[in-house]
């Protein structure tokens, strides 16, 4: 049975069916959904634009203009979900958009130069600096940032679940075991810190890891039309950050 305190914690869906439905809607619900999409995908798209050779300002302008284009056109309503993943659709759409300078300029004028998002470009740039410019392709950068966004969102929502249970401190301590480098964290040290038995800590870590995997699977499932694609997407996600 789902805990009533937890049932509202989940990923805002970006399933093709609902995204395409938003393309046929107007008003607040339409804009809210697209705003969620913007917040989720701007870092991967920004990373692609920068790796493609655009300056910081140009990349920010391109991403902002691209989302203005989505909001003010029928791009979503005419998208064909059968062509692949939603993130792939977004990337190919941005590529086409960046190739068409005239369309981009028009989108900026239609949007009055408005900023749909408050982009933390400095944070995004820091991630780019950590990788040599020649070490990764624009497409791989997009995949990597998409994967990191999904991982970070899953972690954040899992933290909210533990907070709803009244166990935020437990999550803060145990979340270190979700890292690929968690091998150096001794269970004995954690048990002492939390005042728990060694066995109880191991059970709690096992539960946390299981819930994290479930949250990731739920996140990925919300972006594909066919449930059979979830496993492949999870493998793509892990490969992107390996």
Residue 225 located in a structural domain: yes
* CB-based contact 174:202 (threshold 8 Å): no
In-domain check, residue 192: yes
Q: pLDDT tens, 165-199? A: 999 999 999 999 988 665 667 899 999 999 999 99
Inside any domain, residue 155:
yes
**Averaged confidence pLDDT in the chain:** 76
- Bigger pLDDT: 95 vs 110: 95
- Three-state DSSP at 116 gives coil
Whether the pLDDT of residue 216 is over 80: the answer is yes
- Does 180 map to a domain? yes
Residue 61 near residue 108, CB atoms below 8 Å: yes
Flag whether 191 is in a domain. yes
Token pair for 29: 């619900």
Where is pLDDT greater, at 141 or 5?
Answer: 141
Q: Could you tell me if residue 2 is inside a domain?
A: no
Q: How many domains does the chain have?
A: 1
In this prediction the pTM is: 0.71
Interatomic CA distance for residues 157 and 226, integer angstroms: 24
pLDDT at 222 over 90: no
Cα distances from 142 to residues 32, 63, 95, 147, 241, in angstroms, run: 24, 13, 12, 9, 11
DSSP three-state, residue 21: helix
Is 7 a residue whose pLDDT tops 70?
Answer: no
Domain limits for position 145: 16-241
According to the per-residue pLDDT averaged within each range, which of 125-129, 132-136, 237-241 is highest? Answer: 237-241
Q: Which residue has the higher pLDDT, 140 or 134?
A: 140
Q: Above 70 in pLDDT, residue 112? A: no
Residue 229 binned pLDDT confidence (cut-offs 50, 70, 90): confident
Return the pLDDT at 9.
39
223 token code pair: 């972006």
Do the domain assignments include residue 11? no
Number of H helices, E strands in the chain: 11, 0
């Amino acid at each position: 049975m789902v805990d009533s305190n937890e049932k509202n914690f989940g990923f805002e869906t970006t399933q093709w069916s609902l995204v395409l439905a938003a393309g046929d809607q107007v008003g607040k619900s339409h804009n809210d959904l697209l705003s969620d999409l913007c917040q989720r995908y701007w870092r991967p798209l920004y990373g692609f634009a920068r790796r493609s050779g655009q300056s910081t300002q140009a990349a920010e302008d391109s991403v902002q203009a691209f989302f203005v284009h989505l909001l003010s056109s029928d791009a979503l309503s005419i998208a064909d979900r059968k062509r692949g993943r939603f993130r792939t659709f977004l990337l190919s759409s941005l590529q086409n958009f960046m190739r068409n300078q005239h369309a981009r300029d028009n989108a900026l004028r239609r949007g009055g130069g408005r900023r749909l998002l408050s982009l933390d470009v400095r944070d995004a740039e820091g991630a780019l600096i950590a990788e040599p410019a020649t070490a990764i392709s624009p497409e791989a950068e997009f995949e990597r940032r998409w994967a990191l966004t999904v991982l970070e969102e899953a972690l954040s929502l899992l933290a909210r679940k533990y907070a709803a249970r009244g166990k935020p401190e437990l999550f803060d301590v145990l979340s270190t075991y979700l890292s690929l480098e968690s091998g150096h964290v001794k269970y004995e040290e954690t048990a002492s810190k939390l005042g728990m038995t060694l066995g109880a800590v191991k059970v709690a870590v096992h539960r946390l890891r299981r819930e994290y995997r479930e949250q990731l699977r739920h996140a990925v499932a919300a972006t594909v039309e066919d449930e059979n694609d979830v496993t492949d997407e999870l493998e793509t996600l892990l490969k992107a950050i390996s």
